[in-house]
């Protein structure tokens, strides 16, 4: 997770975001490369360099390109609902929505605590269903 001002585009934070990933990923091999799917906002030289430096196989939609098949129909629906759902859940935390914390470190800690509690609640509900 990376904290920045509201007027900074996501594409400028791509390298910092990839460096901040805490999940250990397997070493990419020719048989099993690590893929990274991004939207048109990351179609720039800076974004391409960050993806290659991190060792991912890029899948970036080109600006002006649409997902159509041979009959000019869209092939797949976008899967951004996972990100938007998580951001919606985080918006329910008043301390994050209003941002009472002036220091970026404190705000980052509040977001990390909120994410941990969301995952705990999700795992708890799943354990009750079993």
Q: Which tokens is 114 given?
A: 């909120």
Residues paired with residue 89 on neighbouring β-strands, in sequence order: none
pLDDT of residue 129: 73
The per-residue pLDDT for range 112-121, each reduced to its tens digit, is: 899 899 889 8
Query: Cα–Cα distance between 47 and 31 in angstroms, integer?
Result: 24
Strands (E), 1-130: 35-38, 57-60
Residue ranges covered by each domain of the chain: 1-76, 79-130
Digit-coded pLDDT (tens) for 5-58: 888 888 888 899 888 887 887 887 888 888 888 888 888 888 889 988 988 888
pLDDT tens for 54-110 read: 888 888 877 766 666 566 666 566 566 677 788 888 888 888 888 888 888 888 888
Residue 101: predicted pLDDT: 81
Helix ranges (H only) for 7-103 are: 14-19, 45-54, 81-91, 94-98
pTM: 0.65
Q: How far is CA 94 from CA 16, 46, 86, 90, 91, in A?
A: 26, 35, 15, 9, 7
Question: What is d(CA 57, CA 34) in angstroms, rounded to the nearest whole number?
Answer: 6
């Amino acid at each position: 997770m990376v904290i920045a001002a509201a007027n900074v585009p996501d594409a400028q934070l791509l390298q910092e975001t990839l460096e901040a990933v805490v999940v250990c990923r397997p070493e990419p091999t020719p048989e099993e490369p690590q893929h990274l799917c991004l939207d048109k906002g990351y179609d720039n030289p800076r974004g391409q360099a960050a993806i290659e430096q991190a060792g991912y196989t890029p899948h970036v939609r080109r600006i002006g390109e649409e997902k159509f098949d041979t009959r000019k129909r869209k092939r797949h629906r976008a899967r951004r609902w996972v990100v938007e759902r998580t951001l919606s859940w985080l918006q329910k935390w008043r301390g994050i929505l209003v941002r009472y914390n002036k220091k970026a470190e404190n705000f980052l800690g509040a977001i990390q605590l909120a994410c941990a509690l969301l995952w705990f609640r999700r795992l708890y509900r799943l354990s009750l269903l079993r």
